[in-house]
Structure 1
Amino acid sequence: MTAEVVIMNKLGMSLAADSAITSGREGVQKVYNSANKLFSLSSNHPVGIMVYGAASFMEVPWDVIIKSYRDYLKDRKFDDLNYYVDDFLDFLRQDERFKNKEVEEIIVYRTFSDILKRIVREVEDDIKTEKDNGSDVTDETVTSWLTECVSRHISTYREKEDMYLHLEYEEFKERFTDVIQEIKNDLISFELPQYLEENLFELAFEATRKDYFSIGSTGIVFTGFGEREIFPHLLNYRLEGFVSGQLKFKKIKEKKISYTNDKDDGTAEVTAFAQREMVDSFISGIEPNMEDAIFGIIDKVLTGYDEQIQKHLGIEFTDDQVKAMKNMGNDIYTSIEDAVEEYQQKNYIEPLLGIVRSLPKEDLAEMAEALINLTSFKRRVTRATESVGPPIDVAVITKGDGFVWIKRKNYVDPVINARF
């Protein structure tokens, strides 16, 4: 895993990334603290790149890809950071070294495998519940649950408007039949009816072409300045890879520093990527999982409030009264949510950004490093795998000085490698 952060104000931006990379499968994992996740585009461009998620794209390491793009870009410059991203994506599309039919099968495999594992876990939970209640579970019952679950997922993807790949179903099915059958045989141990087999192909097809990005996809962050941009700019994309010669990617977020606080993202911004829980806690005053748990409890209490009243007070409500109480519960939930958000903005987020907008470049770098160290320390003192770890690479990008390393690990000894 990874922890990365970008901090921006009008003076420039600081970037920090850890060096941990996890190798192996679940249960047999090893962590190495030598990965490069933060890159300078070149000495001629005030642009930095960070990657998180998968360490490679189409089985090619990102280190190799980004340095190859430097040679492709050369001295060309663009007015806006968006044009750098567009040019980079065109570079990926045009370079045949990043297109491989065998790797395309891997992309379909990991996409469908992710989804089918989730479906199988859901059905296994249903089986366990039924058995705990003393009921027998037959293959026909399991098939029915699988059918319902698969159909629900297909409908979910079909309802999504965004289309990331333009594929033909019959061609997709013919090409990736072996891949999909392999996943099905690995995860489902009994024979399925023909209609459910067909549904699985449809599910793989819809997930591949629609808005689903697997755990093997990569997040990529472009930061810096176009030639006509005076304030920092950040773009975050998700890249899955090529399928049938088409590149699957989507834009996640865009952040811009502006002249005043009421335009774009204001005059200061702190953005974290990948393992961001400690950064979010620092910014908003509460750990995100704790916040979700609290609001989950509140929602559960308010949803069943009418039942508790009827149970403890012996009052029978009409259907209209039950509906009115549920509506009231929704209104109360929204009011609590709005009040908490307003409190966070007033007492945590706005005061912090007020300080960030006036920080000099050196302090921006120190703050970015400290936030990654905080995440690393949290992983070290918990039972979770230490998937965030030092050394931490830190850089600052300004309009005048361009990309400047503040801290950088290097496998090269400069004493015996003078050319570096």
Structure 2
Amino acid sequence: MTAEISILNKHAVALAADSAVTIGDGAKIFTSVHKIFCLSDHHPIGLMIYGGANFLGIPWETIIGAYRIKIGSRKFGTLREYGEHFLRFLATSPGLFPASQQNEQYRFLVKSYLYSLLQEIKSACDDLFSKKGKLSQAEIVAITAKIIDSHYSKWQSAPLIKSVSDAKFRVLRRKFRLYYRQQIKVFLGKLLLSVAQKNKIAFILASITYRRLFNTQYVSGIVIGGYGEKEYFSSIVDYEIETMLNNILKYKEDYSPIDHGNDAIIKAFAQKEMVGSFIEGVHPDFEQRSKRELKKITDSLPNDFTTSLTFGTILQKSKARKLFEKKVANLHTAYNQNMQQYKYRNFISKIVGIVGVLPKDELAMMAESLVNLTSFKRRISMDAETVGGPIDVAIISKNEGFVWIKRKSYYKQEINIKKI
């Protein structure tokens, strides 16, 4: 994991990132990883990575280095054009990502999905067995059918990713049809699956790379920030990239620009709960838990009320319950809206208002402090220190371009004068 932040106003973009990387399930943590990169001396553009440190087996640092050579001194009018050019580079670099490697990664995703599906079915069966003390074959079949139908419904409703047509999706299913059958037999062969259920699973396996549902476990984040040649205000674009098959990238995009009506942006990536607490005045997990508990209580009120009534017909009680449910739903919506307004008025707007006028050095200091806040929280808690190490900070402005404020180095500068 990691903690990274970008802060934008009409003066510049500040990027800050820690140096920690977690290997495996947290068994090993290194604190010397580079996560911020300058595109080149020719562009006021910076890149920041989070999530997966590799893409299809290649370190992002190597990929970005190759892209720096590819783009050279070429310039684009807008920041989004830089982002689109970077994505095209990923999709058209067979030397980095040969078809064999793309297919191998897809096979890994198929096996991972089938394994997780099997574990979900096993867990549901174990839960029922622990409650009843026994489990029939019919109950196992029913549990399996329910879970497969749930997964199928979710994937079927997800739209295809950009540039993938229904025809391309069908081609993928035909191409890997035999492989699907083989792996379904390997992982789920002991379950009594119908032909229809096997077809649903095959549909899901084809959807893994071509539909807009993302597994955060395999996602890498690429943040590109700065200015296009024709832009006077900064912006950032965040790409969450999961995989690539047949040179088609599976990714989603989030674009955040500064403009005449938007003076400041504060955006955290990866582990962002402490930044959220600082800006919004409440921990995101606590806020979500509060909303769930309140909804649970209010949702039970109509039934409790009508059940306690000692007068009225069944029809009258039913009407009363529906009216009560509608009133409770309206009150719940009003409560959430009022709390959001309170949070924005008393916390968010005050900080964002100041960020909008911060000079470049203060922008950099704020970005570093927010990353350090997350690092400090992990250090004094019982959680693994998945955020830590030196914090790299960079400022990107229209006039000065990309400028390092703080940057760690793995080599001694005094014996690398030529490198400097």
Give the TM-score, by structure 1 length.
0.91
Distance 1:188 1:284 in 2: 50
Q: Which of residues 288, 293, 297 in structure 2 aligns to 1:301?
A: 297
Distance 2:251 2:288 in 1: 29
Deviation at 1:208, TM superposition (A): 2.3
Q: 1:183 to 1:369 in 2, by over 3 A?
A: farther
Q: Which of residues 234, 241, 250 in structure 1 aligns to 2:252?
A: 250
Q: 1:75 to 1:278 in 2, by over 3 A?
A: same
Find out whether 1:7 has 2:7 as its counterpart: yes
Q: Which of residues 50, 53, 68 in structure 2 aligns to 1:52?
A: 50
Q: Which runs of 5+ in 2 are unaligned?
A: none
Q: 1:293 to 1:378 in 2, by over 3 A?
A: same
One-letter identity of the residue aligned with 1:219: G
**Do 2:160 and 2:210's aligned partners in 1 also have CA atoms closer than 8 Å?**
no
Instruction: Please provide the CA RMSD for this pair.
Output: 2.4
Deviation at 1:241, TM superposition (A): 2.7
Deviation at 1:249, TM superposition (A): 2.0
Distance 1:73 1:206 in 2: 33
One-letter identity of the residue aligned with 1:325: F
Deviation at 1:384, TM superposition (A): 2.1
Distance 1:198 1:41 in 2: 46
Once the two structures are superposed, residues 248-306 of structure 1 have per-residue CA deviations (whole angstroms, 9 ceiling, x without a partner) of 2221x1111122xxx3xx10110001111111111111111111100000110111112
Distance 1:81 1:269 in 2: 16
Distance 1:125 1:184 in 2: 20
Distance 2:297 2:380 in 1: 33
Cross-structure match for 1:65: 63
Q: Secondary structure at the match of 2:403?
A: strand
Q: Secondary structure at the match of 1:410?
A: coil
Cross-structure match for 2:335: 336
Give the TM-score, by structure 2 length.
0.91
Deviation at 1:111, TM superposition (A): 4.0
One-letter identity of the residue aligned with 1:172: R
One-letter identity of the residue aligned with 1:131: F
**Do 1:107 and 1:240's aligned partners in 2 also have CA atoms closer than 8 Å?**
no
Distance 2:99 2:352 in 1: 47
One-letter identity of the residue aligned with 1:84: Y
Aligned residues with identical type, % of pairs: 32
Distance 1:187 1:393 in 2: 47
Find out whether 1:38 has 2:36 as its counterpart: yes
**Do 2:114 and 2:187's aligned partners in 1 also have CA atoms closer than 8 Å?**
no
Distance 1:6 1:59 in 2: 27
Q: Secondary structure at the match of 1:51?
A: strand
Q: 1:168 to 1:162 in 2, by over 3 A?
A: closer
Q: Which runs of 5+ in 1 are unaligned?
A: none
One-letter identity of the residue aligned with 1:389: G
Distance 1:10 1:188 in 2: 59
**Do 1:150 and 1:203's aligned partners in 2 also have CA atoms closer than 8 Å?**
no
**Do 1:180 and 1:204's aligned partners in 2 also have CA atoms closer than 8 Å?**
no
Q: Paired residues, what number? A: 412
**Do 1:109 and 1:179's aligned partners in 2 also have CA atoms closer than 8 Å?**
no
Deviation at 1:36, TM superposition (A): 1.2
Q: Secondary structure at the match of 1:4?
A: strand
Q: 1:381 to 1:181 in 2, by over 3 A?
A: farther
Deviation at 1:358, TM superposition (A): 1.4
One-letter identity of the residue aligned with 2:14: S
Deviation at 1:357, TM superposition (A): 1.1
Cross-structure match for 2:398: 399
**Do 2:11 and 2:360's aligned partners in 1 also have CA atoms closer than 8 Å?**
yes
Q: Secondary structure at the match of 1:293?
A: helix
Deviation at 1:96, TM superposition (A): 0.9
